[in-house]
Chain A
Amino acid sequence: MSDAVMPLKLTEKPAHKTTGQFEIRDYLRLDLFPHFLCPGCGHGIALRALLWAIHDLDIEKDQLAVVSGIGCSGRLSAYIDANTFHTTHGRPIAFATGLKLARPDLHVIVITGDGDCLAIGGNHLIHAARRNLDITCIMLNNEVYGMTGGQVSPTTSLDRFTTTTPMGNQEPGFDACALAKGAGATFVGREVTLQTTALKNLMQEGIAHQGFSFVEVISDCTEVYGRKNDLGSSPEMVLSQKRSILPKFDGTAVDKPFRAGDWETGVLSREDRPEYYAAYRAHCHRVLGK
């Protein structure tokens, strides 16, 4: 095995870059377009934000590895002109773990969905968060299993209808960010697709972060979930994302208080903790006297 295959020193990541023309086409596999997502699917907006962040971080496409799981979110990796891996249901973080350990020089980004990440893949999420390996996990939360036709997911809101909750969902959902933070993720953030630039900035920070970063994207499934729950047209669903994230504060309106936010957005937590691979390698060297 040659050294070239497995560089062992941690590569420095470039600092933030705020300017520069971003042409998304430079980052796409154009012959696959138009993409397969439904009209108005928020995943497309999230994908733009991700590629924009990558552009602004000046990451070489050759040095970028995108690992995805199964579901609508899983399909996104195919559209990115990079080293892309469309893996098995729930496992992208585990795949990414192996990949990152083998190739710490690569920027490894996981694209996953709410079902992929929190249900079948929940175990991998929490352990990856705990280890703090330098992976960025982007979870697109549209509250539903869109690819399989709209079944209930671990983030489906209460009373919402899905094909497997014909009488309305009665299971409480996960707060994915709280879960990730609780499990030890050293960078946790959440943003909605409507706030594309903020989403891009959050992703940019997440990718630049040394350690396991978790970014929840509030996306929308207009064709399956939206239709089933009467959530309106695509623009309405995008707009209504805002309703759930408005800043919390006490109102003084006469008849009723101003709306309180359901979710917080932006960088929710950040922690300085040794990155897994670097720490592992350094420790081994220390013990072995290298």
Chain B
Amino acid sequence: MSEVIEPRVSSNAPESLNIITQTGQGARPMTGNEAIARGVWEAGCRVAAAYPGTPSTEILENLAKYPSQDLHAQWSTNEKIALDVAYGASYGGVRAFCAMKHVGLNVAADALLTQAYIGVNGGMVLAVCDDPGIHSSQNEQDTRLFGKLANVPVLEPSDAQEALDYTRWAYELSEQFDTPIIVRSTTRIAHTRSPVVVGERQEFESQGFVERPENIALPTTARRRHPVVIERESLMETYFSESAKTQWIKGDTSVGIITAGMSYSYVREVLQGFSILKLPASFPLARDSVREFCDSVERVIVVEELEPFLETEIAAMGYKVEGKVFFPRAGELSPELVHEGFAKAGLLESRKIKSMLNFDELVRPPVLCSGCPHTGGYMALRALDARVAGDIGCYTLAAMQPLQAMDTCVSMGSSIGTAVGLAKAGNETRPIVATIGDSTFLHGGIPGLIDAVYNQANITVLLLNNSTTAMTGGQDHPGTGRTLRGDETHQVNYAEVCRAVGVKSLKEVDSYDLGVLYQAIREATEYKGVSVVIANRPCVLDPVKIKGPAFQIRAEGCTACQSCMNLGCPALSWSDEMLDGHHKIKIDETSCIGCTLCVQICPSDCIRPALELNPS
């Protein structure tokens, strides 16, 4: 534990960002994700794998910018495979890395919990990015609890510099303590840019595969390893207590604040003068440091995002500790919330913000892009009045207005299984359709499809193939025929996959062909058994931004029926012209990509190519 009294001094600005591997020349602005990637590279990691997931995606994307002779970086079909791949490299004696978002760890958990027993050969680090506030996820689970469950240490950087430093450090810890290490990031760290001083890459001589009994997880080895894991936990508690990264900011001893990660920044932002204990790792807890700190102050307050993880642990040590009584357990912390928490604790004046500057808030939810090929499928499902089991991806937005064509959404790949269950429940009168994107299908949909065929479920699967992982920004996957580094590779043929697992009713259609799409889905739903409709069209943003000739509305032909508004296309909005009490529609030519979906829906033939209406 080190003592810090002075605030850190800013570094000088870098002159160039061009050479990513360059070192020195002071600090450069980096997001947390860039910094983790840099840390992985500097640590001499040779294999990195991930499945994209906000807010973790950019870590692997940034790793792919480093020379391929330095490390192999790959997208894997899902987080478990990514972890297995990384772990295989670790078995092989090289430093390995795996990144995922918090819910991705659920997928990888099966491997992780056993890997903790096996230990590592090459250093093994997982970066897991939580999403407090649920900016782009389906829950806000707290990965620190996972660390404890898995007996895997969890490091918590509080800014980009620490993200780099802790990542490098994690490799040392991993090899020293023979365990995988989780570096837990959050959205705010992942997507915040701040200056980072970088270092150089270390290179290691690999010792190669080491044959040891614990490499094979068997009851006998596991039984032997569990006590070792428990012992490791206490060794690391001591280690962290002694680490210079556990920082005690000396101050007024009437109150002591214990915090870690992003919360530390908020505390420093709003509160000055009190004692602060900053923990670099939430698990295992640096018990000695905590004990010493708590003993030195009159009152202990824990500031942490999400679950009362540290609070519970410290309370269990016998200290009276306050935390969630002041700070919310749900949602993302912010300087305001931390301030208000301290106000509740009596440390600060409550800040009443003058609310004179309050204006009607415009609702601007994320929407499917103009020309999004998913729109057609959900328009068809909407018309079919199907019971739709959704999945994770951009298309989850179809659950919202105006499409409102999705009934369930649980987790990656859940749609098909959910649909099977709905069908087996036997009381659904509407056709049951599972909708799943191409990347999600590869991630976790295929076992579900096999299950559906195996169990002869009467469902339809609509595979929305936009040839990218769109939600996270357009990453490649086995269906795109390109690797993370852009090299060509085998491209999965979905139809063949479906046939191979026993799907008899299969049709491939064009996502922009509304009539055909509708008919294909309708016929598929009438098929007894598992039917698959594959709707193909590339995402309009990635990998290539698609912009066809725009359309325009002939106002005199528009009957204001608003049929087109059901697409939820951002290029469509009301014009000021009204007919019979309804607004006519106009098209924003700059955002219209010319997909023709609105043209296909319009019952008045008033949507024409802009060029035709304005030839100039």
Which A positions have Cβ atoms within 8 angstroms of B? 191, 194-198, 201, 231-233, 235-236, 239-243, 246-247, 249-255, 258-259, 265-266
Closest B residue to A241 using CB positions: B515
Q: What is the minimal beta-carbon distance from B608 to any residue of chain A, in angstroms?
A: 6
B603 touches A194 (CB 8 A): yes
For residue B270, which residues in chain A have a CB less than 8 angstroms away from its CB? Answer: none
Q: List 10 A-B contacts (CB under 8 A).
A: A197-B604, A197-B605, A198-B606, A233-B522, A240-B516, A243-B600, A250-B549, A255-B538, A259-B512, A265-B605
A246 touches B596 (CB 8 A): yes
**B513, CB-defined interface residue at 8 Å:** yes
Number of cross-chain contacts by CB at 8 Å: 89
Q: A197-B559, A235-B383, A259-B513 are in contact. Are A251 and B604 (CB under 8 A)?
A: no
Q: What is the minimal beta-carbon distance from B462 to any residue of chain A, in angstroms?
A: 16
Closest A residue to B606 using CB positions: A198
Interface secondary structure of B, over-half rule: loop
Closest B residue to A193 using CB positions: B603
Q: A191 to B603: give the CA distance in the assembly, Å.
A: 11
Closest B residue to A248 using CB positions: B609
Q: Which of A231, A242, A255 has the most CB of B within 10 A?
A: A242
A236 touches B519 (CB 8 A): yes
Please report the total number of B residues contacting A with Cβ < 8 Å.
36
Q: What is the minimal beta-carbon distance from A99 to any residue of chain B, in angstroms?
A: 32
Q: A197-B557, A198-B604, A258-B594 are in contact. Are A243 and B548 (CB under 8 A)?
A: no
A251 touches B548 (CB 8 A): yes
Q: What is the minimal beta-carbon distance from A238 to any residue of chain B, in angstroms?
A: 9
**B367, CB-defined interface residue at 8 Å:** no
Q: A196 to B467: give the CA distance in the assembly, Å.
A: 37
Q: A231 to B516: give the CA distance in the assembly, Å.
A: 9
A252 touches B547 (CB 8 A): yes
Pick from B559, B600, B604: contact of A239, CB under 8 Å: B600
Q: A266 to B554: give the CA distance in the assembly, Å.
A: 13
Contact with A along B536-550 (1 / 0, CB 8 A): 011000001011110
Q: What is the minimal beta-carbon distance from B510 to any residue of chain A, in angstroms?
A: 8
B548 touches A197 (CB 8 A): no
Q: A195 to B599: give the CA distance in the assembly, Å.
A: 10
Pick from B515, B538, B602, B605: contact of A240, CB under 8 Å: B515
Q: Which of A196, A198, A265 has the most CB of B within 10 A?
A: A198
B609 touches A247 (CB 8 A): yes
Pick from B513, B519, B557, B602: contact of A232, CB under 8 Å: B519
B522 touches A249 (CB 8 A): no
**B360, CB-defined interface residue at 8 Å:** no
A196 touches B603 (CB 8 A): yes
A254 touches B538 (CB 8 A): yes
Closest A residue to B604 using CB positions: A197
Q: Which 3 A-B pairs have the closest CB atoms?
A: A198-B605, A240-B515, A195-B605
Q: What is the minimal beta-carbon distance from B38 to any residue of chain A, in angstroms?
A: 33
